[in-house]
Amino acid sequence: MSRLQNKTALITGGTSGIGLETARQFIAEGARVVVTGSSTASVEAARAELGGKATVIQADAGNAVGQKAVADSVREAFGTLDILFVNAGVAEFGPLEQWSEAAFDKSVDINVKGPFFLIQSLLPIFSKQAAIVLNTSINAHIGMPNSSVYSLTKGALLTLAKTLSGELIGRGIRVNAVSPGPIATPLYSKLGASEAQSKAMAEQIQAQIPVGRFGNPSEVAKTIVFLASDEAAYIVGSELIIDGGMSNL
């Protein structure tokens, strides 16, 4: 298919998981793609995976000042931007009493502050029919223990999707959000738990999903392709929940 033919897209955190799968699907739909990643290893792996079909750059999603350099890279490569998928994020969990200010700031910087200033930096190069999709989470809706900081950052992103949709539609920019539930990505392997703890956590989570399984990145990526395409031209300020029914319990 070619729903994104001749469109330019930027995907933050696009070197693994949902971001990488979205890059694959954007490319398959005809888009020119720029992907960011935070580590040298992930950037090199994505370059090998995507070959010459995407521009892969290293960037710290939590560095507000550095977002202008990302915008400059996109402008130098393509001039304008039609699609932004804000996917880079960090998921750190813990009881309220164990949070430090530094850990709190890290999550807020990566999940909220960086994306805010990236969008600001990209404003001059967005096309007049652009689409922004923010990757939020069902954690913005459910009271999951130990997820207080993660949930508040995703709730902030969801609010940003709604407020910016009203603010930017006059510029021809649509803003929407996707809120995935449990998705089988490397995210869960980065939580610092042992193999046994990770397995127990996965089983506990899966028991709460009505469809009885984790989602896969391609199921989320397909929704993002839709929201980024002209098929979703009348969808503004909306949130699409992709969680196998988990948030309905």
Domains and CATH numbers, the chain: 8-240 (3.40.50.720)
Checking DSSP bridges between strand 32-37 and strand 8-11, what pairing results, if any? parallel
**Max CA distance (Å), the chain:** 51
* Sites in the chain below the pLDDT cut of 70: 186-194
Tell me the catalytic residues: 150
Rounded to a whole number, what is the distance in angstroms from the first to the last CA of the chain? 36
15, 58 Cβ separation under 8 angstroms: no
Residue 109 contacts by C-beta under 8 Å, 6 or more apart in sequence? Answer: 62, 63, 64
Checking DSSP bridges between strand 54-58 and strand 126-135, what pairing results, if any? unpaired
pLDDT of residue 153: 98
3-state secondary structure of 135: strand
pLDDT of residue 1: 72
pTM surpassing 0.85? Answer: yes
3-state secondary structure of 70: helix
- Radius of gyration over every alpha carbon of the chain, rounded to an integer in angstroms: 17
Which DSSP state fits 122?
H
Structure tokens at 208: 């709460």
Question: Which residues on neighbouring strands pair with residue 126, listed in sequence order?
Answer: 81
Gap between the Cα atoms of 160 and 110, Å rounded: 15
